[in-house]
């Protein structure tokens, strides 16, 4: 399903009205939501997508990030996990991107250096042939992706359950407006992130995609595997492939 950049994004499975935002410390809520999701699902870590290359990406401070690089081509999706997540959270989506002719890079971010880490991964992608970059983030990684989109001169952003206040994402969204296409998604029962999705989407002059259930970040793919195709279709449109 291709999504036009100038059109307001449609919710898949119906737009759901959400209550006012619950006022709780952002990182506490992120960690609690992800921990509950993992506890409920009891899921083991998936295998890397077929064809993945395990790489070490240098940062400005001399540390190296563990990452996988999968697929081929000059269009690259950079996948940033949430506060308590790992690169494995995005193995399924990385594989979906690779199957559709993209390269995808999923990396393990450091807790206290998220901005430096994302900058390093995008720089690595461009050193290795990327001409178009789409940032994809789950939870805290989504807030980071919105916040750094303009600075990193990317072609698009996918936000999955972004906290509006983390990395000043709401203000960053207001500054972006419709200058960079952003796909905003959250699950209806995953508060306060469903409400935050509406707030962020309003700032971006678009509509959020609200799916049923309580999945958080990449956890939404468990209930809605078709959402991965929607994300890839959006990314295709963002870089002019559709």
Strand partners of residue 132: 75
Q: How do residues 192-221 score in pLDDT, each as one tens digit?
A: 999 999 999 999 999 999 999 999 999 999
d(CA 47, CA 187): 25
226-236 burial, b if ≥16 CB within 10 A, otherwise e? Answer: ebbebbbbbbb
More confident position, 17 or 156: 156
Written in H, E and C, the secondary structure of 109-153 is CCCCCHHHHHHHHHHHHHHCCCCEEEEEEECHHHHHHHHHCCCCC
User: Tokens representing 48?
Assistant: 């890397």
Q: What is the DSSP letter of 45?
A: P
* 78 in Cβ contact with 105 (< 8 Å): yes
| pLDDT score at 44 | 65
* 113 in Cβ contact with 61 (< 8 Å): yes
d(CA 125, CA 140): 21
Has residue 30 got a pLDDT over 80? Answer: no
CATH architecture of the domain with range 54-238: 3-Layer(aba) Sandwich (3.40)
Q: How do residues 85-136 score in pLDDT, each as one tens digit?
A: 999 999 999 999 999 999 999 999 999 999 999 999 999 999 999 999 999 9
| pLDDT score at 46 | 82
d(CA 242, CA 150): 23
| Distance, C-alpha 176 to centroid of its chain | 16
Has residue 25 got a pLDDT over 70? Answer: no
Enter the pTM of the model.
0.83
3-state secondary structure at position 67: strand
Has residue 227 got a pLDDT over 50? Answer: yes
Run of H or E including 29: helix 26-41
Domain boundaries, the chain: 54-238
Task: Give the phi and the psi of residue 228 in degrees, each rounded to 5.
Answer: -65, -40
Q: How do residues 139-180 score in pLDDT, each as one tens digit?
A: 999 999 999 999 999 999 999 999 999 999 999 999 999 999
| Distance, C-alpha 147 to centroid of its chain | 12
User: Tokens representing 169?
Assistant: 């994402």
């Amino acid at each position: 399903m291709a999504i036009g950049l100038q059109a307001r994004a449609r919710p898949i499975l119906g737009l759901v009205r959400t209550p006012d935002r619950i006022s709780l410390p952002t990182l506490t809520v992120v960690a609690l939501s992800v921990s509950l999701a993992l506890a409920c699902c009891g899921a083991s870590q998936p295998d890397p997508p077929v064809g993945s290359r395990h790489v070490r990406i240098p940062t400005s401070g001399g540390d190296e990030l563990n990452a996988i690089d999968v697929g081929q081509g000059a269009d690259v999706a950079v996948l940033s996990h949430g506060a308590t997540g790992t690169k494995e959270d995005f193995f399924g989506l990385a594989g979906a991107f690779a199957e559709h002719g993209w390269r995808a890079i999923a990396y393990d971010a450091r807790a206290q250096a998220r901005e430096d880490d994302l900058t390093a991964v995008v720089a690595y992608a461009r050193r290795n042939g990327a001409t178009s970059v789409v940032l994809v983030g789950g939870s805290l990684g989504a807030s980071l992706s919105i916040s750094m989109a303009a600075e990193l001169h990317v072609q698009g952003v996918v936000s999955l359950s972004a906290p509006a206040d983390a990395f000043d994402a709401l203000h960053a969204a207001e500054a972006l407006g419709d200058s960079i296409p952003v796909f905003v998604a959250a699950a209806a029962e995953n508060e306060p992130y469903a409400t935050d999705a509406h707030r962020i989407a309003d700032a971006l002059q678009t509509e959020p995609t609200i799916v049923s259930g309580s999945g958080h970040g990449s956890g939404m793919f468990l209930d809605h595997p078709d959402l991965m195709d929607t994300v890839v279709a959006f990314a295709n449109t963002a870089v002019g492939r559709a």
